């Protein structure tokens, strides 16, 4: 059985180490926060906050306290606030240990596309290009194939890039792969999935 | 010099004009200068360029100036929440320059700090890097981005004193600080103007040197995505 959304998020949470400052993207990456357990992880929200807390209780929403997805959130005892220039200074400056984010395509060189589909309404890259260029480690969490069954792990990205040679690790519903010299290396296979299934669903070169 | 004005319209008097480049604070609808945007709409100023992370929603924030077609160009990182924006952009009525969010923030900060350009690795190898100068430092490639020097900055803060010292609240600080610094003139709207001496000098987020005009007013502070959890889940 391939992993579901929550299992993928739980697997991504294993990547995070005690003491890390981490930025989580929108979608499945947001769920990662539910699986960090006892690890001391500080979440960054690029609109200007370290130490992001959970959603507020009903009636306790604060218009001045949102995350990068514009959702109302809460603060923690460790929280600090800062302006957008300072926020991206810590991102670009390599102070954020890791970013977990979704993707449309990743290729065997570690190129990432997740912001634009030509001909479809363009919304903008937000902070994604800064994050992938700046953080210590980029972990992509996404389905292995798109809704047409086509591989999202390609030899070469076809969509406009978010960053070039930026991805370190890819966690999909089928398993975990690293970007290494010459292609992608299978690190882990989801329980009940075979290596042949991963290979059949991967267009990118797989190295042993 | 008196910095406090009675309202947004008076604060804009003699400042706003057609074709201006305006840097605006805010992220989504959080911390946007909503009163000044409303007053800019009422001023009828045309062909405005806005450097602002987002473009508001259809009926709030910069969105209200799109409805009246007062905006010629947006410099933004994300504009996904605005249907009228998309309509005008796709029909060619509105120019759009996408900047990565951190690049936009740093362009404002640099402009305010007298730095006309800086190198960043954000966007290298993407469409953002096309036609920009590339330069290698220590074996890594960077691109040249330019500082933003705006004619006017409009920002929203929580509290001010009458000398323009500002304090922001929680994540409503966001782009307000870099935007404020890059304007030739900066107008700040706040929830409360407090007596001089009542703000802790060690806790000022933006010194009054950057702020030329101040107004106090009632803010709607609309929430874009109200997300909550139930008490039982705690």
Contact at CB, B27 and A48, closer than 8 angstroms: yes
Q: Per DSSP, what are the bridge partners of residue A23?
A: A44, A99
Whole-number Å distance between alpha carbons of B20 and A11 = 50
Q: Which of residues 32-71 of A touch B (CB under 8 A)?
A: 45-49, 54-67, 69-71
Quick check: B218 contacting A, CB < 8 Å? no
pLDDT, position A1: 87
Question: Could you give the 3-state DSSP secondary structure of residue A202?
Answer: coil
Contacts of A69 in chain B (CB under 8 A): 225
Q: Has residue B234 got a pLDDT over 70?
A: no
Question: Could you give the 3-state DSSP secondary structure of residue A206?
Answer: strand
Provide mean pLDDT across the span B204-222: 98
The reply to whether B222 falls in a domain is no
The reply to whether B141 falls in a domain is no
Q: Mutate which of A64, A71, A111 to test chain B, going by most B C-beta atoms within 10 A?
A: A64
pLDDT tens-digit readout, B167-207: 999 999 999 999 999 999 999 999 999 999 999 999 999 99
Quick check: A78 contacting B, CB < 8 Å? no
Domain that holds residue A125: 5-200
Domain that holds residue B31: 8-116+152-216
Quick check: B132 contacting A, CB < 8 Å? no
Quick check: A122 contacting B, CB < 8 Å? yes
CB-CB contact of A175 with A186 (8 Å)? yes
pLDDT, position B177: 98
Radius of gyration, CA atoms only, chain A: 17
pLDDT, position A27: 87
The reply to whether A206 falls in a domain is no
Q: What is the DSSP string of B144-171?
A: EEEPP-EEEEEEEEEEE-TT--EE--GG
Q: What is the CATH number of the domain that holds B49?
A: 3.40.1080.10
Q: Which two tokens stand for residue B162?
A: 């009458």
Q: How many structural domains comprise chain A? A: 1
Quick check: A189 contacting B, CB < 8 Å? no
Confidence grade of residue B233 (pLDDT, cut at 50, 70, 90) = low
The reply to whether B104 falls in a domain is yes
Whole-number Å distance between alpha carbons of A95 and B46 = 42
Closest CA to A152 of A193, A184, A191, A120: A184
pLDDT, position B203: 97
Whole-number Å distance between alpha carbons of B30 and A122 = 22
The reply to whether A59 falls in a domain is yes
Greatest Cα pair distance in chain B = 56
Q: How many structural domains comprise chain B? A: 1
Provide mean pLDDT across the span A34-54: 96
Other CB atoms within 10 A of residue A76 CB? 14
Looking at the partner chain, which of B31, B80, B123 has a beta carbon nearest the beta carbon of A129?
B123
Distance from CA of B89 to the nearest CA of A (A): 10
The reply to whether B146 falls in a domain is no
The reply to whether A205 falls in a domain is no
The reply to whether B226 falls in a domain is no
The reply to whether A134 falls in a domain is yes
Quick check: A26 contacting B, CB < 8 Å? no
Q: Which of residues 65-104 of B touch A (CB under 8 A)?
A: 76-81, 86, 98, 100-103
Residues 6 or more apart whose Cβ sits within 8 Å of residue B205: A83, B157, B166, B167, B168, B173, B177
Confidence grade of residue B82 (pLDDT, cut at 50, 70, 90) = confident
pLDDT, position B81: 77
Active site residue A109: no
The reply to whether A116 falls in a domain is yes
pLDDT tens-digit readout, A76-112: 999 999 999 999 999 999 999 999 999 999 999 999 9
Confidence grade of residue A52 (pLDDT, cut at 50, 70, 90) = very high
The reply to whether B128 falls in a domain is no
What is the CB-side half-sphere exposure of residue B188 using CA atoms within 13 A? Answer: 34
pLDDT tens-digit readout, B126-174: 999 999 999 999 999 999 999 999 999 999 999 999 999 999 999 999 9
The reply to whether A75 falls in a domain is yes
pLDDT tens-digit readout, A70-83: 999 999 999 999 99
pLDDT tens-digit readout, A168-203: 999 999 999 999 999 999 999 999 999 999 999 999
Provide mean pLDDT across the span B4-24: 98
The reply to whether A207 falls in a domain is no
Work out the percent of chain B whose per-residue pLDDT is above 90: 93
Whole-number Å distance between alpha carbons of A108 and A184 = 6
pLDDT, position B164: 98
Distance from CA of B127 to the nearest CA of A (A): 7
Report the number of secondary-structure helices (H) and strands (E) in chain B: 6, 11
**CA angle centred on B58, ends B57 and B59, rounded to 5°:** 95
Work out the percent of chain A whose per-residue pLDDT is above 70: 100
The reply to whether A70 falls in a domain is yes
pLDDT, position B226: 94
First to last CA, chain A: 23
């Amino acid at each position: 059985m391939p992993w579901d959304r929550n299992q993928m998020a739980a697997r991504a949470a294993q990547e995070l180490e005690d003491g890390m400052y981490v930025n989580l993207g929108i979608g499945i990456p947001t769920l990662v926060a539910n699986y960090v357990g006892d690890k001391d992880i500080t979440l960054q929200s690029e609109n200007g906050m370290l130490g992001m807390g959970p959603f507020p209780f009903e009636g306790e929403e604060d218009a001045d306290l949102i995350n990068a997805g514009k959702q109302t959130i809460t603060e923690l005892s460790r929280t600090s606030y800062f302006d957008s220039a300072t926020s991206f200074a810590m991102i670009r400056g390599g102070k954020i240990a890791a970013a977990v984010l979704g993707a449309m395509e990743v290729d065997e060189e570690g190129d990432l596309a997740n912001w634009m589909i030509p001909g479809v309404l363009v919304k903008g890259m937000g902070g994604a290009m800064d994050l992938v260029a700046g953080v210590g480690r980029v972990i992509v969490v996404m389905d292995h194939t798109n809704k047409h069954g086509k591989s999202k792990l390609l030899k070469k990205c076809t969509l406009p890039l978010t960053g070039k040679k930026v991805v370190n690790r890819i966690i999909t519903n089928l398993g975990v792969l690293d970007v290494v010299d010459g292609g992608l290396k299978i690190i882990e296979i989801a329980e009940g999935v075979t290596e042949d299934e991963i290979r059949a669903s991967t267009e990118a070169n797989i190295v042993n | 010099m008196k910095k406090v004005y009675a309202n947004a319209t008076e604060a804009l008097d003699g400042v706003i004009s057609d074709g201006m480049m305006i840097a605006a604070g805010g992220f989504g609808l959080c911390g946007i200068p909503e009163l000044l945007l409303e007053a800019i709409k009422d001023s009828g100023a045309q062909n405005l360029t806005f450097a602002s992370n987002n473009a508001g929603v259809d009926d709030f924030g910069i969105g209200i100036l799109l409805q009246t077609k007062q905006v010629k160009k947006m410099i933004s990182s994300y504009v996904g929440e605005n249907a009228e924006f998309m309509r005008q952009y796709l029909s060619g009525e509105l120019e759009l320059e996408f900047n990565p969010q951190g690049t936009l923030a740093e362009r404002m900060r640099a402009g305010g700090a007298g730095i006309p350009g800086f190198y960043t690795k954000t966007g290298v190898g993407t469409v953002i890097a096309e036609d920009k100068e590339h330069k290698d430092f220590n074996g890594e490639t960077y691109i040249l981005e330019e500082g933003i020097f705006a004619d006017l900055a409009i920002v929203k803060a929580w509290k001010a004193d009458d000398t323009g010292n500002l304090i922001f609240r929680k994540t409503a600080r966001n782009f307000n600080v870099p935007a404020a610094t890059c304007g030739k003139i900066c107008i700040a709207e706040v929830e409360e103007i407090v007596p001089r001496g009542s703000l802790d000098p060690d806790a000022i987020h933006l010194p009054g040197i950057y702020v030329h005009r101040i107004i106090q007013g009632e803010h709607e502070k609309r929430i874009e995505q109200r997300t909550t959890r139930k008490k039982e889940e705690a």
